[in-house]
């Protein structure tokens, strides 16, 4: 146990300390492109220089805050869409017979094992001007000019919902599978309509599944890079993309670090929430 513990400490926790440190350094035209925080000046004096300019910069240039707010909005809407599509699917899978259930579960898991990059790429072929959807619509006579879908916010939402849907379905299914369905029968025997029984019993009991699935979609979606870069077009302002560009194109490592720290500060409460939901869920299972 000490081995994984030390590994994670060194390669997962310590790196964040370094990110925090570099977010307070000056940008330098050197390799690596930042100045040290701690310097010996003169004989016996040590100077620690904390530079808050990177953070000040994030709050003065509206690009960063807009990107952050937009990312949160996109992630939130995508989560709600995943929940709306994923809940009936998870419910249907949980209530089907054992043999159908295994096949359906396999069908949910399969895309998850296939490369995310390639599945996002598939949507370029479907959505572009002479792509599959436009060709079908023109051929059927529904439209005459191709619709402009690729490189729009619409394409980005489709990509995110499509990629993260299995992450919503699986925890929801795991939760619904443990549900005691006789409760529903009891409610109906006592005169509850099926829809009433669903909203009064099934939905509240599946709260932890919904929360776990939503976190698994929301948290990574906020920092998503690949999907906005491939489907969103140049105007898709997402914080993961801003961080990437600051790092790779502008070589502004301290600014990229400050963006990472800001993003982390927003996401850590959600991660802790996720962990407590998971703990409750496994405690309930025993």
Partner 1 sequence: MNYRRSYFIVTCIAFGFAFLYVPILSMVVFSFNASKLVTVWDSANSPTLKWYYLLVHNEEILDAAWISLKVAVINASGSVILGTLAGFGLARFTKFRGRFTLNAMTTAPLVMPEVITGLSLLLLFVALEQTIGWPAGRGITTMTIGHMTFSMAYVTVVVQSRLASFDSALEEAAMDLGARPLKVFFVITLPIIFPAVLSGWLLAFTLSWDDLVISSFTSGPGSSTLPMVVFSKVRLGVSPEINVLATLTISVVTLMIIGVSLWMARTSRLEKASA
Residues 131-190 that bind partner 1 (CB under 8 A): 131-132, 135, 162, 165-166, 181, 185
85-104 residues in contact with partner 1 (CB under 8 A) are 85-86, 88-89, 91-93, 95, 102, 104
Max Cα distance, the chain (Å):
86
The three-state secondary structure class of 238 is coil
Residue number, 55 or 162, with CB nearest to partner 1: 162
34-73 residues in contact with partner 1 (CB under 8 A) are none
Structure tokens at 221: 């979606």
Near partner 1 by CB under 8 A: residue from 230, 236, 252, 258: 230
| Residue 159 Cβ vs partner 1, minimum distance, rounded to whole Å | 10
Helix axis angle for 116-127 and 153-177, nearest 10°, is 130
Are residues 251 and 231 in contact, defined by beta-carbon separation less than 8 angstroms? no
Closest by CA position to 263, among listed 226, 218, 232: 218
Residue 38 phi, psi (nearest 5): -110, 130
187-216 residues in contact with partner 1 (CB under 8 A) are 194, 215-216
| Total residues binding partner 1 (CB under 8 A) | 88
Near partner 1 by CB under 8 A: residue from 68, 108, 149, 210: 108
User: Any contact of residue 113 with partner 1 (CB under 8 A)?
Assistant: yes
Q: Where are the alpha helices (DSSP H) in the chain?
A: 2-8, 14-22, 53-60, 62-94, 98-113, 116-127, 132-140, 153-177, 182-189, 194-197, 203-205, 207-222, 226-231, 239-248, 253-285
Near partner 1 by CB under 8 A: residue from 9, 47, 69, 143: 9
248-277 residues in contact with partner 1 (CB under 8 A) are 248, 253, 256-257, 260, 263-264, 267, 270-271, 274-275
């Amino acid at each position: 146990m000490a081995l994984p513990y030390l590994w994670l400490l060194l390669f997962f926790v310590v790196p964040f300390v370094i990110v925090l440190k570099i977010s307070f350094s000056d940008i330098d035209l050197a390799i690596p492109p930042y100045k040290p925080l701690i310097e010996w000046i003169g004989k016996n004096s040590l100077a620690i220089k904390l530079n808050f300019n990177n953070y000040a910069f994030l709050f003065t240039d509206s690009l960063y805050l807009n990107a952050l707010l937009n990312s949160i909005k996109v992630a939130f809407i995508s989560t709600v869409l995943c929940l709306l599509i994923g809940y009936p699917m998870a419910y249907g899978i949980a209530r089907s017979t054992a043999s159908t259930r295994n096949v359906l579960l396999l069908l949910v898991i399969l895309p998850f094992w296939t490369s995310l990059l390639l599945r996002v790429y598939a949507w370029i072929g479907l959505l572009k001007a002479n792509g599959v959807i436009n060709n079908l619509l023109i051929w059927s006579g529904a439209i005459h000019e191709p619709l402009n879908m690729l490189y729009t916010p619409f394409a980005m939402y489709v990509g995110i919902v499509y990629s993260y849907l299995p992450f919503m379905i699986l925890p929801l299914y795991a939760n619904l599978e443990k549900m005691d369905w006789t409760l529903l029968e009891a409610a109906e025997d006592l005169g509850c309509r099926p829809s009433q029984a669903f909203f009064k019993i099934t939905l509240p009991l599946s709260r932890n599944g919904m929360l776990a699935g939503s976190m698994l979609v929301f948290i990574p979606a906020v920092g998503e890079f690949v999907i906005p870069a491939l489907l969103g077009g140049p105007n898709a302002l997402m914080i993961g993309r801003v961080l990437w560009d600051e790092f790779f194109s502008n070589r502004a490592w301290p600014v990229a670090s400050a963006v990472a720290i800001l993003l982390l500060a927003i996401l850590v409460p959600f991660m802790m929430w996720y962990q407590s939901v998971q703990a409750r869920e496994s405690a309930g299972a025993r």
